[in-house]
Homo-oligomer: A and B are copies of this chain.
Amino acid sequence: MISFENDYNTGAHPLILKRLAETNFEPLPGYGADPYCESARSKIRKACGRENAEIEFLTGGTQTNSIVISAMLKDYEGVIAAKTGHISTHEAGAIEYTGHKILEIEQKNGKILPSVLKQYLEDFYSDGNHSHMVYPGMVYISHPTEYGTLYTKQELTEIHEIAQRYGIPLFIDGARLGYGLMSLRSDMTLSDIAGLCDVFYIGGTKVGALCGEAVVFSPEMKPAHFMTSVKKRGALLAKGRLLGIQFDTLFTDGLYFNISRHAINMAEQLKEIFHEAGIRFYLESPTNQQFIILENQRMETLKKSVAFSFWEKYDEHHTVVRFATSWSTTEEDLQRLKEIVSVYKQ
C-alpha cells in the first residue's frame, strides 16, 4: 500500500544514515558540544545570513515550542497564537504545562492577520483591568501553517513590526519550514525569515531527519543558561551528535532545500492528480500538505489502497482528509495514486 499519511512516516534521508555510520566510532563530547553540532551551527548561520545567530538543537516540535516559549516568556506573560495553531490544538497542553496561557486569536486558513493581532494588542492595553489579565509576551506563528498555507513577506513584515512596537518577540514554528521556502508561491528566503522574527526553528523531523529541530535565536535573544533550562525540561540529548550530524548533513550541499523542493514537486503533481479526478480541495495549499474533501463512502474505499490522514468532518456526508508528500515520496507512488483515484472520477 502506498502512503501519503504524513511527512514523518519513513526514516531519514539516506545521506543522514550514511553520515551517522561514518562517524559512529568517533568518541565525541556529549550534550551538543561536539564538532558536528558546531559545524552544523556554522552552516545554518551562513544559510540564514546571520553570522551571530545563536543556534541550539532539540529533538521534536512540541518540545521545541514548549521550551522556547516558556524560557522566553516572563512570569506574567502568555503567548498569542492562532486558534488553529499547533500549540493551541495538538500539543496536549504542553504550553500550559509550563504555567503560561495561550492567548488564542482568530485566524484565516491557519494564519494570523496583522490587523487582528494589532487590534488584540490595542484592546489589551486599553482595558483598565489588564493587570488582572495575562500580558501578551510573544507572538507565535507557524510557517507553513497547520493548513499548509504561507505568510507573504509583506504579512510577516507587518506582524514583526507590530510585535516590535509592543516589545515582544515573534517566534516562528518552522516544523515544515523547508516546504514553505521551496513552495512555488514563496516570496521569502531563509535569510528573510531569519530577519523577520526574533527566534524560529528549522524543522528536521518532518524534513528528512530521524528527529531534530534547530532553534535559531537572533543575537541577544537566547535566554541565559538556556541549555540548563533544556536539561531541566528533560530535553537535553546525551548523544548530541545525533542532532549535530543530521543538521550538518542537511545543511551540506543544500540537502535541506533539495529534500523540500522534491516534496513540493511531488505535491504539485499530487494536486494535478486530484484536479484531474475532479476532487475538491478544502483550501489552496502551496506546500507539501494537501487537504481535500471526500465523500465518506469514497473515503472508506480509498483507505483500502492508500494511506492518508483524517483531518476534520466537513459535513454529514463529507470529510476533509490530508495527503502529505516528503523526501521519500516517489514518482511511482504518484503513478499508483493516479491509477487509484482515476477510478473514482466524479
Q: Quick check: is A165 within 8 A (CB to CB) of the other chain?
A: no
Q: Quick check: is A39 within 8 A (CB to CB) of the other chain?
A: no
A92 cross-chain contacts in B, Cβ below 8 A: 76, 131-134, 228-229, 231-232
A59 to B235, CA, bound (A): 8
User: Which A residues contact B (CB, under 8 angstroms)?
Assistant: 2-3, 5-6, 8-12, 14, 17, 20-21, 23-30, 59-67, 70-71, 74-76, 78, 89-94, 96-102, 104, 123, 126-129, 131-135, 205-206, 210-211, 223-225, 227-229, 231-239, 241-242, 307, 310, 312-313, 328
A234 cross-chain contacts in B, Cβ below 8 A: 60, 62-67, 91, 94, 233, 235
Q: Are A27 and B3 in contact, with the CB atoms below 8 A?
A: yes
Q: Are A25 and B11 in contact, with the CB atoms below 8 A?
A: yes
Per DSSP, chain A at the interface is: loop
Q: Give chain B nearest CB distance to A111 CB in angstroms.
A: 21
- Give the number of times this chain occurs in the complex, counting copies: 4
Known: A59-B59, A97-B232. 6 other contacts (CB 8 A): A3-B27, A11-B23, A63-B235, A78-B96, A92-B228, A96-B99
Q: A93-B232, A101-B93 are contacts. A24–B8 as well, Cβ < 8 Å? A: no
The CB with the most chain B CB atoms within 10 A, among A123, A211, A328, is that of A211
Q: Are B17 and A76 in contact, with the CB atoms below 8 A?
A: no
A20 cross-chain contacts in B, Cβ below 8 A: 11-12, 17, 20, 210
A211 cross-chain contacts in B, Cβ below 8 A: 237-239, 242
Could you say which of B21, B70, B74 contacts A224, with CB atoms under 8 Å apart? B74
Q: Give chain B nearest CB distance to A229 CB in angstroms.
A: 5
Q: Give chain B nearest CB distance to A213 CB in angstroms.
A: 11
Q: Are A132 and B63 in contact, with the CB atoms below 8 A?
A: no
A224 to B262, CA, bound (A): 41
Q: Give chain B nearest CB distance to A244 CB in angstroms.
A: 12
